[in-house]
Amino acid sequence: MEKIATFNVNGIRARLAPLLAWLDGEPGIQILALQEIKAREEDFPFPFFEERGFTVSCQGEKSFNGVAIISRIPPDDLVRGLPGREHLGARFIAARFANLWILNSYVPQGRSAADPMFTEKLRFIEAIGDYIQSRHQPGDALIWLGDINVAPHDIDVYDPVKLKGQVGFHPEEQAALGEVMDKCRLYDLFRTKNPRARQFSFWDYRAPNGFKRDLGWRIDHFLVSKPVLEHCTACWIAKDLRGEDKPSDHVPVLASFSGSF
DNA sequence: ATGGTGGACAATCCA
Helix (H) or strand (E) holding A110: none
Q: Which residues of chain A have pLDDT under 50?
A: none
Look at residue A244 in the predicted model and tell me its pLDDT: 81
| C-beta pairs of A176-179 under 8 Å, 24+ apart in sequence | A176/A122, A176/A125, A176/A126, A177/A125, A177/A148, A177/A150, A177/A152, A178/A152, A179/A126, A179/A129
Q: Which nucleotides in chain B lie closer than 7 A to a protein CB?
A: 4-9, 13-15
Closest C1' nucleotide to A40's CA: B8
A38: which nucleotide lies closest, measuring CA to C1'?
Answer: B8
Residues composing chain A: 261
- pLDDT (0 to 100) of residue A261: 81
Q: Which residues fall inside 7 Å of strand B, measured at CB?
A: A 10-15, 38-40, 43, 62-64, 108-109, 111, 117, 205-208, 246
Burial of A53 (0-12, 13-18, 19+ CB in 10 A): exposed
Closest CA relative to residue A241, chosen from A21, A69, A11, A14: A21
Q: What is the pLDDT of residue A48?
A: 98
Q: How many domains does chain A have?
A: 1
Question: Looking at residue A132, which CATH number applies to its domain?
Answer: 3.60.10.10
**Structural domain span for residue A253:** 2-257
8 A C-beta contact, residue A36 and residue A147: yes
Q: How far is the CA of A38 from the C1' of B10 (A)?
A: 16
Name the β-bridge partners of A142.
A101
Q: What is the pLDDT of residue A240?
A: 81
